[in-house]
Amino acid sequence: MSDQNILQHTISLLVNNKPGVLIRIALVFSRRGYNLESVVVSPSNDPKYSRMSLVASGDKETLDQIIKQLNKLVDVVHATDHTGDVTLERELALIKVCCPASKRGEILQIADHFKCRSLDITDDTMTFEVTGSTEKLNSMHMMLDKYGILESIRTGKLVMMRGKIET
């Protein structure tokens, strides 16, 4: 498999809200050599079900097989690959950066540009909350990296179809 065939795929699932479902889904990916890069699980509007948003990289043919296998699992109501679909996607990150008083103005300008929310400030650190696309969060991280990122945590990608289509 060449690197040109490897794409990042965003997959959403509606699953029964039961213990062990996540591990069974992860095993389907693992058996096919796919690495899960991001996993977000949350309740749906019906407490019997949970929503999962997964991000994984690999070739399209293998992913098609994975989606078919996922849809055969008893606890999976449906699985959908959203790669190439028009969707609403967001991530959230908390980023703690070294922030000496002499650099505070520069760092606050960067945070303002990315529409971040300041969550905490100490004599030598600032912690920001930033939401948006994966690309926006990556850019913010890159801009703050030169100041010294002490800690960073991200939620993973949330995905939802636009309009009345439910996934």
Assign residue 69 a region (left: φ > 0; alpha: ψ between -120 and 50; beta: otherwise).
alpha
pLDDT given at position 73: 92
pLDDT given at position 166: 60
Phi, then psi, of 142 in degrees rounded to 5: -65, -40
pLDDT given at position 41: 93
Among the listed residues 150, 148, 154, the one whose alpha carbon sits nearest the alpha carbon of residue 132: 154
pLDDT given at position 56: 86
Counting Cα atoms < 13 Å in the Cβ hemisphere of 139 gives 12
pLDDT tens readout for residues 128-141? 999 999 899 999 99
* Burial degree of 85 (CB within 10 A; 0-12, 13-18, 19+): middle
Among the listed residues 151, 17, 9, 142, the one whose alpha carbon sits nearest the alpha carbon of residue 77: 17
pLDDT given at position 1: 45
Assign residue 130 a region (left: φ > 0; alpha: ψ between -120 and 50; beta: otherwise).
beta
pTM exceeds 0.95 for this model: no
Per DSSP (E only), the strands in the chain are: 6-16, 35-43, 49-59, 76-81, 87-98, 117-121, 125-132, 149-154, 158-161
pLDDT given at position 163: 79
Pick the CATH number of 88-159 from 3.30.450.80, 3.30.540.10, 3.30.70.1150, 3.40.50.300: 3.30.70.1150
pLDDT given at position 27: 93
CATH architecture for the domain at 3-85: 2-Layer Sandwich (3.30)
Could you state, in order of their start, the residue ranges of all structural domains in the chain? 3-85, 88-159
The yes-or-no answer to whether 3-85 and 88-159 have a common fold is yes
pLDDT given at position 3: 58
* 1 close to 40: Cβ distance less than 8 angstroms: no
Please give the Cα distance from 112 to 150 (Å, whole number).
20
Low-confidence ranges of the chain (pLDDT < 70): 1-4, 165-167
